[in-house]
Chains A and B, each alone.
Chain A
Amino acid sequence: MLALAVHNLVKTYPNGMQALRGVDLEVSAGDFFALLGPNGAGKTTLIGIITSLVTKTSGEVQVFGHSIDTDLAQAKSSIGVVPQEININYWETVMNIVTTQAGFYGMGAREARLRAEECLRQLQLWDRRADIGRNLSGGMKRRLMIARALMHRPPLLILDEPTAGVDIEIRRSMWEFLREINAAGTTIILTTHYLEEAEMLCRNVAIINHGRIIEQGRMGDVLHELQAETFVLNLREAVAVMPVLPGYAATRIGDHEIEVEVTRGQDLNDMFAALSAAGLHVTSMRNKANRLEELFIHLTGQESQAAGEVRP
């Protein structure tokens, strides 16, 4: 079953800006799905249309089979959304924020209080339930928005950059929590600029640029399209000049550091053999960039070149 089906979705704003140019997207129920794209690519507009905060120009959206044109209430009931920008009422208490949201979805006050305890405990906010929104830290506000989105037990959770500006410890606990609720059956759509986050959490991915989906598929299959990876190697002995490594593009970065590009079809054993032959001893290595990040830059860069864009 599809949690989300988007067909030929177009959005043109009144100022003429075409934010979406015929987006087709399918997300299966139970998936953990990454929607990636550079700033201004159309991610937030797409999420806005799905959650009915933005009106579409044309096209179709269905959430668990409920069309937003003919069955909007059911479609809305199936979604929980965590927006990119903090949008909590700063003067309400944490408890009031989440119980009020539940009430808007038709949940009675008694049930809402019980559910609030469950959600706030899960997001480690129960001790702060009497605090007003204004007094929470940035990470707490983000977690509060997740708790609020989950109050009505939506089968589809959409998170628009939920970990932006959140420290690594809280980010890791959020990842853990999202994995748990996904394992329990909640479909998750995640947009993020932390591509290692998307690679680690998501099973499927779509990349959007200039209002169009330019790549979509299983994370592994999409990453397989990566033509080359760059590794940064630390050397035991200093090198003054980069020796030639037959078959590999290598660059000296510092006395003890070099970069080697390994293209598809080449393997690491051959690279190490070439390094050994050149008298270089490697003490440690790492990817220069996350694999998804490399692919992302490659794909969006291609798009920009095709569109004749000049990047500043």
Chain B
Amino acid sequence: MATQLVALRTLVRKECNRVFRIWLQTILPPAMTTGLYFLIFGNLIGRRIGQMDGLDYAQYIAPGLIMMQVVTNSYGNVVSSFFSAKMQRHLEEMLVAPMADWAIILGHAAGGMVRGLAVAVAVTVVAMLFTHIYVTHLLVTLSVVALTAFVFSLGGLINAILAKNFDDVSIIPSFILAPLSYLGGVFYSISILPEFAQHLSRINPILYMVNAFRYGMLGVSDIDIAFAYGIILAFAGGLFAICLVLIRRGTGIRS
């Protein structure tokens, strides 16, 4: 066990070093993009929209925008790190070592989480330049953002394990993650949607994460918080199990 903990710590350090070594690619762009979102949607268009759930529009979208960047960046971090290690074959450094499968998964997930959380901090700082944001339930806020980063890091890992070429690593972020994020209640409350669209929205897991995070920060949510936690934890457990099976079988990483 001690060996595994050292191996895990080594991998976490390696992944974190990577995130901060290339901060111009990993941390700064999401902060820039979010600044533009606040400028255009929060300030220019938001003034005409007025209020949403009793809050200024810029204030209302802040938690969703933070969460959207957490989702995208935690996912993207693991995809790019693991897939490039696979392509350059230095993933073999880990595969020939007596590292447990769970340590490989958690090490990569930790890298994704660190980037997700670092981006969350950067985006929050940018958000504070445009609107007043505050934290109502600190524990909920922190746990939801950490769990969400964990879930999408695992998603990124599965994508990277199964990917055979560079197209495979860009399809899911572009065609699945981006639409789910935009339609996951980042910019609006689902209460303004027709009933049919509200039901449809409830099959989108990002809706639960965005709303639970918004509840933690602003104290408002379209979703029951306990149910949102249930969904997030179920995804975390399910994706972790899938990662374990894939790595144990050697899918995509052993011939």
Could you tell me which residues of chain A, from 45 to 85, have a CB within 8 Å of some CB in chain B? Answer: 48, 51-55, 72-74, 76-77, 79, 81, 83, 85
**Is the C-beta of B201 less than 8 angstroms from some C-beta in chain A?**
no
**Is the C-beta of B138 less than 8 angstroms from some C-beta in chain A?**
no
Measured CB to CB, the closest approach of chain A to B47, in angstroms, equals: 45
Bound state CA distance, A213 and B90, in angstroms?
A: 30
Q: Looking at the complex, which one of B4, B6, B85, B250 makes contact with A107 (CB distance below 8 Å)? A: B6
Known: A55-B254, A87-B89, A87-B90. A103 touches B6 (CB 8 A): yes
**Is the C-beta of A100 less than 8 angstroms from some C-beta in chain B?**
yes
* Neighbouring A residues of B94 by C-beta, 8 Å: 104
* Neighbouring B residues of A108 by C-beta, 8 Å: 6
Contact B88 A100, beta carbon cutoff 8 Å: no
* Neighbouring B residues of A48 by C-beta, 8 Å: 255
Q: Looking at the complex, which one of A83, A87, A88, A104 makes contact with B97 (CB distance below 8 Å)? A: A104
Known: A89-B85, A106-B2. A52 touches B7 (CB 8 A): no
Could you tell me which residues of chain B, from 1 to 22, have a CB within 8 Å of some CB in chain A? Answer: 2-4, 6-7, 9-11, 13-14, 17, 21
* Neighbouring B residues of A77 by C-beta, 8 Å: 98
**Is the C-beta of A90 less than 8 angstroms from some C-beta in chain B?**
yes
Contact A106 B7, beta carbon cutoff 8 Å: yes
**Is the C-beta of A182 less than 8 angstroms from some C-beta in chain B?**
no
Q: How large is the interface on B (under 10, 10 to 19, 20 to 34, 35 or more residues)?
A: 20 to 34
**Is the C-beta of A115 less than 8 angstroms from some C-beta in chain B?**
no
Contact A76 B97, beta carbon cutoff 8 Å: yes
Contact B93 A101, beta carbon cutoff 8 Å: yes
Contact B96 A106, beta carbon cutoff 8 Å: no
Contact B93 A87, beta carbon cutoff 8 Å: yes
Contact A103 B95, beta carbon cutoff 8 Å: no
Contact A105 B93, beta carbon cutoff 8 Å: no
Measured CB to CB, the closest approach of chain A to B252, in angstroms, equals: 12
* Neighbouring A residues of B10 by C-beta, 8 Å: 100, 103-104, 109
**Chain A, Cβ-Cβ closest to B14:** A100
Bound state CA distance, A103 and B4, in angstroms?
A: 9
Measured CB to CB, the closest approach of chain A to B162, in angstroms, equals: 15
* Neighbouring A residues of B122 by C-beta, 8 Å: none
Contact B254 A106, beta carbon cutoff 8 Å: no
**Is the C-beta of B99 less than 8 angstroms from some C-beta in chain A?**
yes
* Neighbouring B residues of A89 by C-beta, 8 Å: 85, 88, 90, 93
**Chain A, Cβ-Cβ closest to B10:** A103
Measured CB to CB, the closest approach of chain A to B213, in angstroms, equals: 33
Q: Looking at the complex, which one of B13, B21, B85, B95 makes contact with A52 (CB distance below 8 Å)? A: B95
Measured CB to CB, the closest approach of chain B to A229, in angstroms, equals: 40
* Neighbouring B residues of A73 by C-beta, 8 Å: 98
Bound state CA distance, A241 and B249, in angstroms?
A: 68
Could you tell me which residues of chain B, from 221 to 255, have a CB within 8 Å of some CB in chain A? Answer: 250, 254-255
Q: Looking at the complex, which one of A76, A90, A103 makes contact with B88 (CB distance below 8 Å)? A: A90
Bound state CA distance, A76 and B93, in angstroms?
A: 12
Q: Looking at the complex, which one of B13, B85, B88, B98 makes contact with A106 (CB distance below 8 Å)? A: B98
* Neighbouring B residues of A194 by C-beta, 8 Å: none
Q: Looking at the complex, which one of B13, B21, B88, B98 makes contact with A105 (CB distance below 8 Å)? A: B98
Could you tell me which residues of chain A, from 91 to 139, have a CB within 8 Å of some CB in chain B? Answer: 91-92, 96, 100-101, 103-109
Selected A-B contacts with CB under 8 Å, 29 pairs:
A13-B255, A52-B96, A53-B255, A55-B254, A72-B98, A73-B98, A74-B98, A83-B92, A85-B89, A89-B85, A89-B88, A89-B90, A92-B14, A96-B17, A100-B10, A100-B14, A100-B93, A103-B6, A103-B9, A104-B7, A104-B10, A104-B11, A104-B97, A105-B97, A106-B3, A106-B98, A107-B6, A108-B6, A148-B93
Binding site for B on A (CB under 8 A): 13, 48, 51-55, 72-74, 76-77, 79, 81, 83, 85, 87-92, 96, 100-101, 103-109, 148
User: Top 6 closest A-B pairs, CB basis?
Assistant: A103-B10, A106-B3, A104-B97, A87-B89, A73-B98, A76-B98
